Amino acid sequence: MPIYILGIESSCDDTSAAVLSDTEVLSNVIANQQVHSNFGGVVPELASRAHQQNIIPVIHEAIQRAGIRKEDLHAIAFTRGPGLLGSLLVGTSFAKSFALGLNIPLVEVDHMQAHILAHFIRSKHSEEAVPRFPFLCLTVSGGHTQIVRIDDYFKMEVIGQTIDDAAGEAFDKAAKIMGLPYPGGPLVDKFGKTGNPKAFSFSKPGIPGLDYSFSGLKTSFLYFLRDRLKEDADFIENNKADLCASIQDAIVGSLMDKLLKAVKLTGIRQVAVAGGVSANSALRRAFTEQQELGVIQAFIPEFQFTTDNAAMIAIAGYFKFLNKDFADFSVSPYSRSGNRV
Ligand code: KG4
Ligand code: ZN
């Protein structure tokens, strides 16, 4: 008999619920929050309020679409952290009461581990191979940028990470400087499609080892635009595609440089990419190119598993369920995981 796990994700501005049958996704419902777009970033108070409004309908729909009854569930997995505490509390409290009501185990999941473990989800759309241990994963989201070495489902080590902004933040901040709404990453990707990635160049960070830095790039972009706008008030509008393509090229170039360095250093050639920024077309292309060059074996997630989703929480929950790694009902969320993945 298959094991049915309900996953709940509420760490930031997406309320999501998913049902997995073993490793196969039966449903993955995501309610995006539009309330933040005019604020240039996620407003924590608005996010937790929207989670409260969304959580019951989203979970109801996930169970319905999966074609099961709630009594069929074997466990409830939820995101414990990292993320916004007010948002995490909504998912955590709901998961606890639902698990208690159904008298089934509660499983806590780390959001960053879940982004990586999303590579083990099977879905109808793809019969892609899953990575074998050990593999490397470039985890790039709005809050994190990490190179992780994965030796087993829950044996992960961060071997490189950003010392300031995350890659997603770099995309969002560059977009904001150009006057685009939040989250700007997908818009930079969209407008950059028709632009020349080598039209403009920005200073590259000189950070040693496998760590990243993106704050210098943001400043360099800001000053560059400030100077150009003095000469031409319509500079951004007239060069939008080239600007987007060029800033994207700088971010992706920086991500790939350190990642390929990590491949060399570790000798591990199976390389995955995960997190919201793994939806970026230039980054996905860079992975494919390196695979075609024979440098890596690339694992690129399906779009629905790139940005925040509950299927990734459910798959992490599934592996923990197999290990009987259950959470105590007194568990509380954490906002940061530090070096822990
Ligand atoms: O993983 P995620 O959904 O949430 C966090 O855990 O942070 O990642 C969201 C980030 C945002 O910064 C968003 O702008 C970025 O992923 N993002 C993209 C694209 N799609 C989402 N960045 C560049 N290109 C995209 N296509
Ligand atoms: Zn995320």
Mean pLDDT in residue range 313-325: 98
Ligand 1: residues with CB < 6 A are 12, 141-143, 168, 171-172, 183, 185-186, 189, 275-277, 279-280, 307-308
Question: Which residues neighbour 34 within 8 Å (Cβ) at sequence distance 6 or greater?
Answer: none
Model confidence, pTM: 0.94
Residue 125, H or E segment = none
Name residue 98's amino acid: F
Summarize pLDDT for 53-91 with one digit per residue, the tens: 999 999 999 999 999 999 999 999 999 999 999 999 999
> Under DSSP, is residue 193 helix (H, G, I), strand (E, B) or coil?
coil
**14 beta partners:** 32
pLDDT confidence of residue 156: 97
pLDDT value at 338 more than 70: no
pLDDT value at 309 more than 80: yes
Q: For ligand 1, atom 23, which residue shows the shortest CA distance? A: 185
CA distance 118 to 314: 9
Summarize pLDDT for 151-207 with one digit per residue, the tens: 999 999 999 999 999 999 999 999 999 999 989 999 999 999 999 999 999 987 889
Mean pLDDT, rounded, of the chain = 95
Mean pLDDT in residue range 255-263: 98
Question: Which residues neighbour 285 within 8 Å (Cβ) at sequence distance 6 or greater?
Answer: none
Q: For ligand 1, atom 3, which residue shows the shortest CA distance? A: 307
Pick from 24-38, 216-230, 260-274, 279-293: least confident: 24-38
- CB-CB neighbours of 223 under 10 Å: 12
pLDDT value at 340 more than 70: no
Q: Return the ligand 1 atom nearest residue 190 CA.
A: 26
Question: Which residues neighbour 101 within 8 Å (Cβ) at sequence distance 6 or greater?
Answer: none
Q: Ligand 1: distance of its center to the CA of 167 in Å? A: 8
In 3D, which of 208, 204, 213, 209 has the Cα closest to residue 164?
213
pLDDT tier at 33, thresholds 50, 70, 90 = confident
